Structures are given as C-alpha cells and as structure tokens.
Amino acid sequence: MNTAMKLSGFALGLAAVFGAAYGVGQVAGPVTPAAESRHDDTMAGHGDTGHGTEAGASGRLPGGLLVSDRGYTLVPVTAPSGEFAFRIAGPDGGPVTAYDVAHDRRMHLIVARRDLSGFRHVHPEQDPDGTWRVAAPFGGPGVWRAFADFTPTGGEPLTLGVDVTVPGALTDRPLPPPATSTTVDGYTVTLAGSPQPGRTAQLTLTVSRDGAPVTDLEPYLGAYGHLVALRQGDLAYLHVHPDGAPGDGRTPPGPAVTFRAEVPSAGAYRLYLDFKHGGVVRTAEFTVLADAATAPTGSPAPTPNAPAPTGAAEHGEPGHGHD
C-alpha cells in the first residue's frame, strides 16, 4: 500500500471522527455552533453520508475524553515512584497484549497538564503481561491528562484518557494568547491557516533556524511532523499526520509541513507540533482559535469555558509565542 495514501487516509479518517462528534458537541457543550457545516467530498470518500446521521448513528465523541470506549479501558496500575504504568483492559476484561504498529510504535502515550502548560509524547515499554511502563512522563505537579493512542489488533484505533494527579504545589497557568509564530530551542515555527469547526482546514507549519529555512527535517515516527491539538476546557484530543511522507518522492523534508485537521467546535485549542532535526525531537506550541471570524483578535476567550489569560509568558520557558 502506498504509504502517502495511507497516511493521508489516516489523517482524513481522524478528521471524519471529529466531524462525527460535532453534532454531539452542539448539544452537550457550551460551544458556538458553526452554521450548517458540510463535509467536503474527501469525507464522502470515506462513506460519510452527512454529519447529522453519522453522529446520531455512532455517538462518537472526540478522542481522549473517555477512559473506556468500545470495550477497551485504560487502567492505571501501581508503579514505583515517578513511573507511570497502565494496562488496557479488553472486551473480555483481561489485559490487551496484541497491538498493531501505528507510526512505528504499538503504543503512543501523550501527556498534557490540564491547564495545557505541559506536553510530552512518549513511548512506554510493554511487560509480557501487557502492562505498559514509562519513566517520569509528567513534567511537574498538577493534574495531568494521559492519552493512550493505540490500535488493538483486530480493533479500531482508539485514544483513551485518564487524569493523573502529581502532588506538589499547584500553579494554574493561563493559556498563552493566540500566536502564529513561536520559538523552541532556537527554532522558529510559523503557522499558516486556522482550524474551522466542522470543516477540514489546512494548517501549514514552517520551520526555520537563525532566519534560514530548515530543509532537512528528519523523519520522526514515519512523518516529518506530528500535530496534536487539545481543546481548552476538556482536552478533547486530535492527532493528525501530515500530507505526504518521507521517501514518497514528492514530500520535501521541510521547511513546511502541511496538515489537514478538523476541530469539533469553536473554541481555543493548543497545538503541539513534534518535529525532528539534528537527531533531537522538539515540540513547538501554539494557541489557536477555531472560528476566529467570530472572535476578537487577540482574545482566547470565544467560549464561556475559555477564560481570558491574565498575563503572558507564564509558562516559564522559551518556546511559547506571545503577541
């Protein structure tokens, strides 16, 4: 199978899942509904017959909101101090031990603090009994959301989420304001495009260093970039992969990496781009507003559950863009 087609199809499939959830969000959440959004024909290619009927039939939520879905449950288990361990209980109640490889790994664990001020993407090791273990994935005290992103063999791709509290002094950090440029570790990453509720939007991230475009990005987990979006307020999870793949003969290794993403509602989202260069994986972060047309420029608060920040540069590290 053509890898590029497969990756593209995967990303579009995720977009379709978020689209399916959109109708649910309209009913359940304090979100701004987009007027009668319509799927384009790429969605039709996946057999989508319209988001209303699909949402009603599947009842699917965005990824990461559920600790148990379609018979699979994320179960944290007791672990030595600092380590995070969990297993996935399958439909028969026993631990799942067979997983498909997706993007080079059988298990992707993404952790983010509930205030979106910390993010890591790690790969746990599996014990023979099915328990997954990873050393110290959490970046400090607070309430963290742990997302297990995996495909059980014989099943569909799933993202389950669970809260994990790391004891210590808690500092709630406001979400940085929206920005289209950020820096991390001497790299500047710019964002073109903005997510649209209920519609597939193109997001292009361009990497430079010292003013020069980076044209030798390295493949990381089978792609030149991985983009995770988390919705402020409930951390609804979206993970998309770029158009094109390393070695497909048409995808240059930077400086631009293009994604197609569909978010389930208006609101504020934090985007995390993982990219690899010089043998090191770095994460560039952005705050973006979906449905920016209805939100005042510079305000990250288009919805009642998105409080305005009281200050900038609160995350205590370089790499966060601010206006």
Encoded one letter per residue, x for contact with Cu ion by CB under 5 A and - for no contact, window 90-109 reads ------------------x-
In the bound state with Cu ion, the residue whose beta carbon lies nearer, of 108 and 114, is: 108
Task: Please tell me whether the peptide bond between 255 and the residue prior to it is cis, using omega within 30 degrees of 0.
Answer: yes
Residue 307, both tokens = 């409080």
Of 258-287, which residues contact Cu ion (CB under 5 A)? Answer: none
Q: How far is the CB of 99 from Cu ion (least distance, A)?
A: 12
CB of 107 to Cu ion, least distance (A): 8
Residue closer to Cu ion (CB basis): 105 or 173: 105
State which residue, 108 or 270, has the beta carbon closest to Cu ion. 108
Our CA dihedral for 59, 261, 72, 25, rounded to 10 degrees, sits at -30
Smallest separation (angstroms) from Cu ion to the CB of 84: 15
- Compute the least distance from the CB of residue 139 to Cu ion, in Å: 17
CB of 111 to Cu ion, least distance (A): 11
How many residues bind Cu ion (CB under 5 A)? The answer is 1
Rounded distance, CA 109 to CA 121, Å? 6
- Nearest to Cu ion of 226, 315 (CB atom): 226
Q: Nearest approach, Cβ of 221 to Cu ion (angstroms)?
A: 6
Maximum distance among all Cα pairs of the chain, rounded to whole angstroms: 55
Rg (CA), the chain: 19
* Nearer residue to Cu ion within complex by CB, 108 or 199: 108
The answer to whether the CB of 89 falls within 8 A of the CB of 77 is no
Q: What are phi and psi of 114, to 5 degrees?
A: -60, -30
The DSSP output letter for 144 is E
CB-closest chain residue to Cu ion: 108
Q: Which of residues 108-137 bind Cu ion (CB under 5 A)?
A: 108
From residue 141 to residue 160, the character string flagging contacts with Cu ion as x (rule: CB under 5 A) and all else as - is: --------------------
Torsion of CA 38, 43, 48, 54, to 10 degrees: -60
Token representation of residue 30: 């304090």
DSSP string, 22-68: HHHHHHHSS----TT----HHHHTTT---HHHHHHHH-PPPBTS-SE
Rank residues 108 and 320 by Cβ distance to Cu ion and give the closer one. Answer: 108
CB burial readout 250-284, b (16+ within 10 A) else e: ebeebbbbbbbbbbbbbbbbbbbbbbbbeeeebbb
List binders of Cu ion among 32-71 (CB under 5 A).
Answer: none
The minimum distance between CB 148 and Cu ion, in angstroms, equals 10
Distance CA 95, CA 111 (A): 21
Q: Which is nearer to Cu ion, 39 or 108 (CB)?
A: 108
Distance CA 242, CA 211 (A): 24
Contact call for residue 320 and Cu ion (CB under 5 A): no
- Is the CB of 3 or the CB of 181 nearer to Cu ion? 3
Q: Report, in Å, the least distance between residue 102 CB and Cu ion.
A: 9
Contact residues for Cu ion, defined by CB under 5 A:
108
